[in-house]
Amino acid sequence: MIKPYGSEKLNPLYVQDAGKRAALAKEAESLPSLVVSSAAAANAVMLGAGYFNPLTGYMNKADALKVATEMKTTAGLFWPVPIVNVVQDASAIRGKKQIALRDPNVAGHPVLAVMEVKAIEELSADDLKLMTEKIFRTTDPKHPGVAAFNSAGNTLVSGPIQVLNFSYFEKDFPETYRTAYQLRDEMQKLGWNKVVAFQTRNPMHRAHEELCRMAYEQVHADGILIHMLLGKLKPGDIPADVRDACIRKMVELYFPKNTVLVSGYGFDMLYAGPREALLHAVFRQNTGCTHLIVGRDHAGVGSYYGPFDAQTIFDEVPKGALRIEIFKADNTAWSKKLGRVVMMRDAPDHKPEDFINLSGTKVREMLSKGMDLPPEFSRPEVAKILMGHYQSQAQ
């Protein structure tokens, strides 16, 4: 199986020994504490799960700026996005060496992690602007990632952490949420060595399904990991439970048994396009995947990124930094001429009207009205689940 990113073995920051975890949780109740942002909580969950291996905690100002501008830490480790804990007010923890980080997304704000405070530093307006421009390629406050990043505060609290739980993800998605080390174990038990990962924050239509199949066949993989984001999304995106039901139904009915793992990870969507695609590659390598499908406008939003920016950015990765390989995909759609799903680049003789390709707006409109989607666009069993969701929203 492929090695984790940046180390010989995976080093998740979750305290796995139950006795030590209970003792630390008890100690944490008496520590000075911070209720962190949702983004910082998601970072803690990803660090705990081993997805952000080999990081040991939140980055300081020097590392955060270096990663934003040059995609590497001050120690030279390639890393695409700053992993930070930015807060509005750190007055309650100034001068403290150890603090508790409290979960903003769970009632009562229970302790999520214990942190050793190495530094508390201020980010200037220029620092935030520079980081925003580099990470998101825009400073437009209408960009959902930019808005979230710039609303968290300007005080950076850095240092190593020990993670006590995985926030709401285990409870809300018991069948789906898995850590990186759990996925590595599952793949090992299945005897998978070559694994293709598919990233999604949406339900999967016929084109997505076929894209997974194409990649699986072309790289001669042993299995496919359909890996969905379970954290915070922008308004209007499909909730994770609906998406999960759609994907599971599709896999159950249309893929051979034991060829697909359906799983999810606890992170808030950045909508950072190219930079987020790189992060997706890093943490899929940590799960044991050998290939990641990167499609058109991967992890994008609106028209902030070019259609293939998330593919070309991999040319900037230092040679040998990543072991995972990228399966570069074009838009896929049903060809009326050929009677099957194809990548558009493989059908140069086609005109737009030769494809069945519905916009998200059109799909939502049809489902809200109880209209069936074309079977060439969506599996009927998946469309039925989506229709139930949209009609419940319309009531």
Query: How many DSSP H helices and E strands does the chain contain?
Result: 13, 15
Q: With 90 as the cut, is the pLDDT of residue 394 above it? A: no
> In which band, very low, low, confident or very high, does the pLDDT at 209 lie, cut at 50, 70 and 90?
very high
Nearest to 238 by CA among 121, 383, 101, 131: 383
Q: Which CATH class is domain 18-170?
A: alpha beta
Catalytic residue status for 202: yes
Catalytic residue status for 323: no
Strands 98-102 and 33-35 turn out to be: parallel
C-alpha dist (Å) from residue 373 to 61, 181, 369, 379, 381: 49, 38, 11, 8, 11
Q: Taking the domains of the chain in order of start, what are their residue ranges?
A: 18-170, 175-394
Q: Which of these is catalytic: 154, 193, 202, 357?
A: 202
Task: Note the pLDDT tens digit of each residue in 312-368.
Answer: 999 999 999 999 999 999 999 999 999 999 999 999 999 999 999 888 889 989 998
> In which band, very low, low, confident or very high, does the pLDDT at 220 lie, cut at 50, 70 and 90?
very high
Give the per-residue pLDDT at 237: 85
Q: Which of these is catalytic: 21, 201, 213, 248?
A: 201
Measured CA to CA, the distance from residue 367 to residue 369 in angstroms comes to 5
Task: Note the pLDDT tens digit of each residue in 186-202.
Answer: 999 999 999 999 999 99
Give the per-residue pLDDT at 323: 98
Whether the model pTM is above 0.85? yes
Task: Note the pLDDT tens digit of each residue in 6-28.
Answer: 999 999 999 999 999 999 999 99
Rg (CA), the chain: 21
Q: Which CATH class is domain 175-394?
A: alpha beta
Q: With 90 as the cut, is the pLDDT of residue 1 above it? A: no
